[in-house]
A and B are shown apart, each in its own frame.
Chain A
């Protein structure tokens, strides 16, 4: 079947989060994989239902935190022991108990930056324009509307079949989304 290059996908609007969860589950069972659900607030279990159970973000945050920890300590060590040692009463140059507060703060700082920037990067944000904003009713997604979109890149995508499938899930409305 010819795929229309100007079509991003088919969008269906649902009444609430329970209907959306059910629709997502049925779409996944039907074999669709390139799809996403859109809601005005997070819905527990939604991303798992459409086939996206785990994110790598915690690993990113851990790496950020460890980088901050080792970086912070090594910075202090290099400064206080190697580059600018100060002989204060003959005390040990590697005064590691005194280095703990700064090391701790650097860990938290780098982990927090990793969490925020990692989340944005993994989400592909900032992305000011997206084909979905072409759909007129989509602006309601940040107020009280729930959507499921099956994308044209899905191997099983065929516009009329997808439309019929989505209509069978009892949506409020089904529309095409242009690129």
Chain B
């Protein structure tokens, strides 16, 4: 399932695996042992406990915020008329966007036969799953009566009503649930052979039983591998249009509406590019500490970080184009509401957020034109935070400014977030990291069998 196999079939000798994606000297045994030993060790590393502890504190903040919300109602947030959507929707779009990079790495880079996806796709898929879980909380929490969320689903009910299928909010329900389900399926299918490795290597009886159940009896049969590879390729082919469609449907939440600054056709591609942009930034935020703390520099090499940086640069430029087109069309259309919205964003009450967003998303990414900076690991780590902050700002500016000043001046009001808005956001970040830390401890963070395929091509199959 790579460039080499195609060439073998055409009768040319396969290209060697670039040393840049896997350090030389590895065998099937060493890659297996290195990755599985992180999970099967009986001594939990101190830095893991510290990280998990801190994340759990943030989860307690989240639980407090949610409990208070359920008791007191949505009024504890800063949302009022006219800004009926605030942090709730900003956070939802931000988290879903972050999730998109995992699917891109797993699915799209597979279809494009890129070898550098191998060591990063497993934890990137896990990142997607946990990001979608965090995102999914917000549409439920922001409802006035969250316990009635299931009314959005088409189930036969005694009130004899059905959801409104012409609404992007209902489309969102289907898109996000499909995305979560397909990501889970794709991730689990990818995990099966590696969980079988853990089953066979585990020393403790409990570990053997649990991994044995999860592995579903996988035994490496060639017939099974054949169907497995077919399923994996088909899932990748399905996940690719899915990831594009999900953020497109999320952008439809805005584009279907009429407020100035929302009703624009640039949104679907610009949102998808922005999602990949923030997602890859999060991949770097996770990959850089993981390779340092777990000693995985042989598997997650400078090449992986540099390629991620190149994707950041490319999607950052697409996002810049989106901003430029928004502004240009606002002027070119002659629509006074669009033009007012554009100029007010840059000069009005939210100008600080707007220019911060331009600084973080447009200016900072230009540094990645320079190879020395793309290869500078601390710089990449810092810039990944800056980009994630910038993308959050972008959603904030889109949601809040368009609602705060729309068509009729008598309806203009400012928006400000409350402590509960911030608490919920920070709480979901904690929830994400709790899930991620548990994943790092309990499951293989790199796809072991795919690394073996790389070893086979590199070394001619050393044991």
Are these two chains actual partners, yes or no? yes
Q: Which residues of A contact B (CB under 8 A)?
A: 15-18, 24, 36-44, 46-47, 50, 52, 55, 57-58, 61, 65, 75-76, 79-80, 83-84, 86, 95, 98-99, 101-102, 104-106, 108-109, 111-113, 115-116, 118-120, 122-123, 125-130, 132-133, 138-144
Cα separation A57 to B32 with both chains bound (whole Å) = 29
Query: Per-residue 0/1 for B184-196: is the Cβ within 8 Å of any A Cβ (1 yes, 0 no)?
Result: 0110110001001
> Are B222 and A41 in touch, CB under 8 angstroms?
no
Q: Does B80 contact A (CB under 8 A)?
A: no
Please list 6 pairs of residues, one from A and one from B, whose beta carbons are closer than 8 Å in the complex, sorted by A's number: A24-B222, A38-B220, A42-B229, A47-B223, A52-B222, A139-B200
Q: How far is the CB of A78 from chain B (nearest CB, A)?
A: 9
State how many angstroms separate the Cβ of A8 from the closest Cβ of chain B: 12
Known: A55-B230, A143-B32. A38 touches B219 (CB 8 A): yes
Chain B, 216-264, CB within 8 A of any chain A CB: 216-231, 234-235, 238-239, 241-242, 245, 249, 252
Partner of A115, one of B154, B201, B234: B234
CB-CB contacts of B149-185 with A at 8 A, as 1s and 0s?
Answer: 0000010000011111110101100110110011001
Distance between A146 CB and nearest chain B CB, rounded to angstroms: 9
Collect the chain B residues with CB atoms within 8 Å of residue A79's CB: 154, 162-163, 165
Residues of A contacting B456 in the complex (Cβ-Cβ under 8 angstroms): 17, 41
A47 to B230, CA, bound (A): 12
Q: What count of chain B residues pass the 8 Å CB interface test?
A: 69
A17 near B225: Cβ-Cβ < 8 Å: no
Flag if A46 contacts B222 (CB, 8 Å): yes
Contact among B160, B166, B223, B245 with A105 in the assembled complex (CB-CB below 8 Å): B245
**Closest 4 pairs (CB-CB, A-B):** A126-B216, A144-B28, A119-B231, A127-B217
Decide if B230 touches A142 in the complex (CB within 8 Å). Answer: no
Q: Does B450 contact A (CB under 8 A)?
A: yes
Cross-chain contact A113 with B154 (CB below 8 angstroms): no
A52 touches B223 (CB 8 A): yes
Is A111 within 8 A of B222, CB to CB?
no
Residues of B within 8 A of A37 (CB): 221-222
Q: How far is the CB of A170 from chain B (nearest CB, A)?
A: 15
Contact B200 A123 (CB under 8 A): no
Cβ of B344 under 8 Å from chain A: no
> When the two chains form their complex, are residues A142 and B199 in contact, meaning their CB atoms are under 8 A apart?
yes
In the complex, are the beta carbons of B185 and A112 less than 8 A apart? yes
State the B residues within 8 Å of A (CB).
1, 5, 8, 27-29, 32-33, 154, 160-166, 168, 170-171, 174-175, 177-178, 181-182, 185-186, 188-189, 193, 196-197, 199-201, 212-213, 216-231, 234-235, 238-239, 241-242, 245, 249, 252, 449-450, 452-453, 456, 461, 463
- Decide yes or no: A47 and B226 within 8 Å by CB, A102-B171, A108-B178 being known contacts: yes
Contact partner of A141 (CB less than 8 A), chosen from B33, B185, B220, is: B220
Does A57 lie within 8 Å of B189, measured CB to CB? Answer: no
Tell me, in angstroms, the Cα distance from A42 to B457 when the chains sit together.
12
Besides A42-B225, A116-B188, 19 new A-B residue pairs in contact (Cβ under 8 A), listed by A number: A17-B456, A36-B222, A40-B452, A44-B5, A55-B227, A57-B234, A58-B230, A83-B162, A84-B162, A101-B245, A105-B171, A108-B238, A113-B185, A115-B231, A116-B185, A116-B235, A125-B217, A132-B219, A143-B197
Known: A112-B181, A112-B182. A123 touches B224 (CB 8 A): yes
Do residues B181 and A109 form an inter-chain contact, with CB atoms below 8 A? yes
Give complex CA distance A130, B200 in Å.
14
